[in-house]
Structure 1
Amino acid sequence: MDLKQALDLLKKHGYKYTNKRELMMDIFLRESRYLSAREVLDQMQEDFPGLSFDTVYRNISIFEKLGIVEGTEWDGERRYRFHCNRDTHHHHIICTKCGRTREIRVCPMNAILGEPDNFEITGHKFEIYGICADCEGDHAPRH
């Protein structure tokens, strides 16, 4: 999904185009990582100094409901990223320092359950959390 497709999706579902919504989507696209609502608000403050946390959170909730962003939770905080462009089933490895993700194409559900009797799986979510090599390097001992 790109910015135009996301804005068209908002319009299709009866939501108005606003500069704030476009900037929020642009931030998610540009950052290409999981962000908290607070991080989004901080990046929007220069352009919209009176913007409230509630407005940012409410719009992110709309984006998530429409499939524009996807959310996850770690350290007791909800975080969001622009929805993947992939139509194929996949999962993510997520760096808990910078929020960047990497796609993994293996689905552990196949190994765990196979196809259970008398039960149709309609969805699941699997994420692996850790620290990426770039962030790990930031904490290497200095000589």
Structure 2
Amino acid sequence: MSVMNRALQQLKEKGYKKTKQRERIIEIFASHDQYVPAKKILQDMQKEFPNISFDTVYRNLYLLSGENVLEATELEGEKHFRLSCGTGHHHHHFICTDCGKTKLIEFCPMEKINEDLKGYDVESHKFEIYGKCPLCA
């Protein structure tokens, strides 16, 4: 199953309608193997939907993010999104601050950190490493 079909199927299973706008947003992300700023998604969407508002795009990005179709991070004070990896296992990412490309990191530091947090109830965590990829360095 393609990445796009997997994302659309995931939304369908959660009871969301398949709209042309959501389908196009997912299509845009499927063509980028990196984090993309929300305003770039808006620009791409306006080519096909000239009257689409930033609010509509942002609402869809947050919906898709909330349903784990997209992953979100913040780079230089701006939200960036990418399609979720769909690996089915816990992992983290290195994120290039220039091009937005990512590299999967299989190691999770929480095992060590949990030793320092005895008695604390950790509900979730997010671990990202930022820097320049070999092509941008």
Is this a same-fold pair by TM over 0.5? Answer: yes
Number of residue pairs matched? 136
The one-letter amino acid of 1:87's match is G
Structure 2 unaligned spans of 5+: none
Residue 96 of structure 2 corresponds to residue 95 of structure 1? yes
* Cα-Cα RMSD: 1.8
Other structure's SS at 1:93 match? strand
The one-letter amino acid of 1:30's match is S
Q: Deviations over 1:100-129 (max 9, x none)?
A: 100111122233343742234332111010
* Identical amino acids, percent of aligned pairs: 43
List 4+ stretches of structure 1 deviating above 4 A. none
The match for 1:46 is 47
Under a length normalisation based on structure 1, what TM-score does the superposition of the two structures give? 0.85
How is 1:60-75 mapped onto 2 (pairs within 5 angstroms)?
Answer: 60-75=61-76
C-alpha distance in 1, partners of 2:36/2:93?
Answer: 15
Deviation at 1:56, TM superposition (A): 0.6
Q: Deviations over 1:63-121 (max 9, x none)?
A: 01111001111211111110111122211000011111001111222333437422343
Other structure's SS at 1:80 match? strand
The match for 1:140 is none
C-alpha distance in 2, partners of 1:88/1:9?
Answer: 17
Residue 118 of structure 2 corresponds to residue 117 of structure 1? yes
Structure 1 unaligned spans of 5+: 137-143
Q: Deviations over 1:22-75 (max 9, x none)?
A: 110011111021111101111222211222111110100110111100111121
